[in-house]
Every structure is written in C-alpha cells, then in structure tokens.
Amino acid sequence: MPPRPLLPLLVALAAALPVARAAEPPMADLIRDNFTYAGAQYSTMLTRLQGDPLLPRTAAAGKTVTVEPEDWTSGFFPGALWLIHEYTGEAKWKTAAEDYTGRLERIRHYTGNHDIGFMLGCSYGQGLRLTGRADYRAVLLDGAQALATRYRPEVGLIRSWDFGPWQYPVIIDNMMNLELLTWAAREGGDARLRAIAISHADQTLANHFRPDASCGHLVDYDPATGAVLKKQTWQGIADDSAWARGQAWAIYGYTVMYRETRQPDYLAHAQRIARFILDHPRLPADKIPYWDFDARDIPAAPRDTSAAALICSALIELSSFVEPAPAREYLAVAETQLRSLSSPAYRAPVGENGGFLLLHAVGQYPQGKEIDAPLAYGDYYFLEALQRYRAKLAAAK
Ligand code: GLY
C-alpha cells in the first residue's frame, strides 16, 4: 500500500480534536469580562427604564418591552441585578436589585398561574440568599402557599394555566416552580409542600417523557381522575417535537429536584435528558440549540440563547452530582456554551438590544412572538451559569 500523504492526515487529525482552547482567554477572565459587560449594559437598561414602574421582559425593534409583576418573566431582571451585585459587590446593584425586587411584593399571594416559583424565586429568593432579609423570607413563604393552591390531589400535579381549551394543563416549564415548595417546606415546616413537589415531579416523569428522554410541552389531565387526556405542544413546532426550552426546563428541573430530595431516579433522569441533548445530531457545534430540535428549516432556523443558557446552568450543577467522566463532559459543553454566548455572535454591543445582554432567543415561535429577540430569562440564566462556573473554578483551587 503506498504511504498516505501526510498533510491530509494531519488535517483530519486536527479536525477530530476539540477546539483549541490555548488561544482562548481563561474562564476566570471570560467570567470577569462578562460581569463588567453586564454592569455596563444593565446601566444602560436602568437608564432606559427610568420612570417606568414595570419590569423588562424583551425588546422589539430596539425598544425595551416591560411587563406587570403578574407576568411570568417579572422576577428575572431583579434576579439578574442580584447576580451582578453578588459578583461585583457594588452597592449600586444592591440598591437597584432591592428596588426591582420590591416591585413584585404585590404578587406574594398571586394564584393566577404556576409561575410564582420563577417570579419570586429569582427575585426574592436571590435577595434572601444574599441579604438574609426576614421580609423577603416571608414573601417567599406566602408565595409557596399561593402556588400550592394550584395542586389537586386527584391529579397529583400543579395546574399550570387557567386559559386555553384544556381541562387541567401541565407544562414541562412547571418543573422550575418546585424549588420554591421544597425550600418552603424546609423553612416553614410545612411538609405538605415537599410532598406536592415530589408528586408533581413523579407524575411529570411518568407522563411527559418519551422513550428517548425528550419531552413534549403540555399534558392535559382529567381533573377528576388524573387520567391523561391529551399530549400536545404550545410553544414547540409539533406535538412530537423536542422544543429546545422545554428540554432545558426538564434537565434543569430534575437536577434541582435531585439536589432537593437526593432521589436517585431524578438524577438518572436528568442524566438521560443530558444525553438526549448532548448527543442530538442537530445540536450545533457551538452548543447553542435551534429553538426546536425538530424545527423545519434547520440550519436556517433561529437559535435560542435562552435554552442554551438554561442548559448550561443545569449542566454545571448536574456535573456536581455525577462521576468524573460525565462531569468533565458536562463542564466542557457548558464552557463551550459560555464562550459562544460571550462572543459577538450572541452577546449584544453595549447600548443596543433594548439593554439586554443576549441576542437571538425565541419566546413563542408558533404564536409569532419574540422570535430572534432578547429575553430577560436568557440573561438571568446566562449570569447564573457564569456564577456557577466561577464557583466550580474556586472549588477546584
Ligand atoms: N415558561 C414559558 C416559556 O418557557 O416560554
């Protein structure tokens, strides 16, 4: 056999290696740069918001769109301000975080949807963690009781929405609200709240997922018997598709439920979801997913940086609970995601993007809303992922 030419062999070998990281900044520098950037960009956001009592959700045509405290996204901006305060230690971010957190006080008894866990957890929850304020703790305990009113023992799940054609709709996003209940059970001594969270996670595990560990968006239940009536999507491309943010809520939610309960089936499930995402043939090399893994027009389909930020944050936490080999893999993917999100391809120039950090997210594609737009929750989970990665670096020292 004639010898193979050396150059093509070397080229093939180079292509098989992970992206060379030697030329890239160390992660500690990348994290510092991102918080410096976030401070600059959110300073412009605070200027934009002057005189507006509401909370930023997205931007359209460069203009910031703000929402009432009852909107499911209301807690993310206050939460992001707390995370910037935590990193920088600067008092001005604490002042801003307290201001925007306090705007949500009126929803402490809100029972209009299942999202109170997001809304209060990211705002008051982060504030409590960083300040220990007793009044914040009281708001969170009230919020947990409000959330629990949406639970029916006959179904064993918390009802997500009150609108729409469904009888008892439960969406995968609802996994994100359970942490408020497990926390409140510990803090307030009401064991019923923990039982509700576990029942919800168990029923969701039983009914939302497919054999490949991907999940649909919505399951409708019979409110009298708990029987499954229908499985469909609301924000994905199809009932049987893998809507990217849905997969992100799922991996994040089961990782949290494992942290909160140490039940091995939650950990195993989070790892199965991780495999679905990380092995997916349509997950791009930069690890920023298309808005739906089954979007029709891949590779032209929009990406979703909010799903990427969520998956990234979840993978970093999940890496703490698994064997060294998967932990290394999860952290390597999270690093790629953080580097991608920090690049000009996904991070907005200061002063643009309605004051938000990340470009290119998708809110509700089928409804034609927030397509290729910034989203407050994308920013929040990006900052959370950076903080979590920073904690990993500190622990490794
Ligand atoms: N929780 C709604 C969404 O993910 O868009």
Strands 169-171 and 218-221: antiparallel
Which residue minimizes the CA distance to atom 1 of ligand 1?
173
Q: What is the pLDDT of residue 187?
A: 96
What's at 67, amino acid-wise? V
Q: Which amino acid is at 75?
A: G
Instruction: Name which of 55, 65, 209, 169 is nearest 118 in CA terms.
Output: 55
CA angle 340, 83, 349 (to 5 degrees): 45
pLDDT for res 41: 98
d(CA 227, CA 225): 5
For ligand 1, say whether the CB of 335 is within 6 Å of any of its atoms: no
pLDDT at residue number 23: 83
In a domain, 317, yes or no: yes
**How would you class 51 by CB atoms within 10 Å of its CB: exposed for 0-12, middle for 13-18, buried for 19 or more?**
exposed
Residue 363 CA, ligand 1 centroid: distance in Å? 7
* Ligand 1 atom at minimum distance from 171 CA: 1
Examine residue 299 and say whether the peptide bond preceding it is cis (omega within 30 degrees of 0).
yes
Q: Does ligand 1 lie within 6 Å of residue 113's CB atom?
A: no
Contact criterion met (CB below 8 Å) for 150 and 109: no
Closest atom of ligand 1 relative to the 115 alpha carbon:
1
**317 in contact with ligand 1, CB cutoff 6 A:** no
Strands (E), the chain: 55-60, 63-67, 151-152, 157-158, 169-171, 218-221, 228-232, 361-364, 369-373
Mutation pick for ligand 1 pocket among 74, 177, 235 (CB with most ligand atoms within 8 Å): 235
- CATH number of the domain at 3, please: 1.50.10.10
Beta strands 55-60 and 63-67 are antiparallel
Q: Is residue 255 part of a domain?
A: no
User: CB-based contacts of 47: which residues, under 8 Å, 6+ apart?
Assistant: none
Ligand 1 close to Cβ of residue 304 (< 6 A): no
Residue 369 lies in a domain: yes
State the Cα–Cα distance between residues 370 and 366, nearest whole angstrom.
10
Whether the CB of 245 sits within 6 Å of ligand 1: yes
Residue 186 CB neighbour total at 10 angstroms: 13
Residues serving a catalytic function are 115, 173
What is the mean pLDDT, run by run of 10 residues, along the chain of 397 residues? 38 36 88 98 98 98 96 98 98 98 98 96 98 98 98 98 97 98 97 98 98 98 98 97 98 98 98 98 98 97 98 98 98 98 98 98 97 98 98 95
Helix (H, G, I), strand (E, B) or coil at 107: helix
* CA 325 / ligand 1 centre spacing (Å): 32
Q: Are 37 and 347 in contact (CB under 8 A)?
A: yes
Mind listing the pLDDT tens digit for each residue in 29-72? Answer: 999 999 999 999 999 999 999 999 999 999 999 899 999 999 99
- Interatomic CA distance for residues 306 and 246, integer angstroms: 11
Query: Rounded to 5 degrees, what angle do the CA atoms 376, 349, 23 make?
Result: 105
Sign of CA dihedral 274, 279, 281, 283: positive
Count structural domains, the chain. Answer: 1
Q: Is residue 71 part of a domain?
A: no
Closest C-alpha to ligand 1, atom 2? 173
C-beta atoms surrounding 195 within 10 Å: 14
**Is the shortest distance between the CB of 235 and ligand 1 below 6 Å?**
yes
Would 295 be classed as within a structural domain? yes
| Nearest atom, ligand 1, residue 118 CA | 1
To test ligand 1's pocket by mutation, which of 72, 176, 177 has the most ligand atoms within 8 angstroms of CB?
A: 72
Q: Is 224 within a domain?
A: no
Structure tokens at 312: 């990234």
Structural domain boundaries enclosing 297: 1-48+280-397
Establish whether residue 177 lines the binding site of ligand 1, counting it when its CB lies within 6 angstroms of any ligand atom: no
Q: Which residues contact 55 (CB under 8 A, 6 or more apart)?
A: 66, 67, 68, 69, 71, 73, 74, 77, 78, 100, 103, 104, 376
Atom of ligand 1 nearest to the CA of 245: 4
How far apart are the CA of 113 and the centre of ligand 1, in A?
12
286 lies in some domain? yes
Are 179 and 128 a contacting pair, CB within 8 Å?
no
In a domain? residue 361: yes
Atom number of ligand 1 nearest to Cα 306: 4
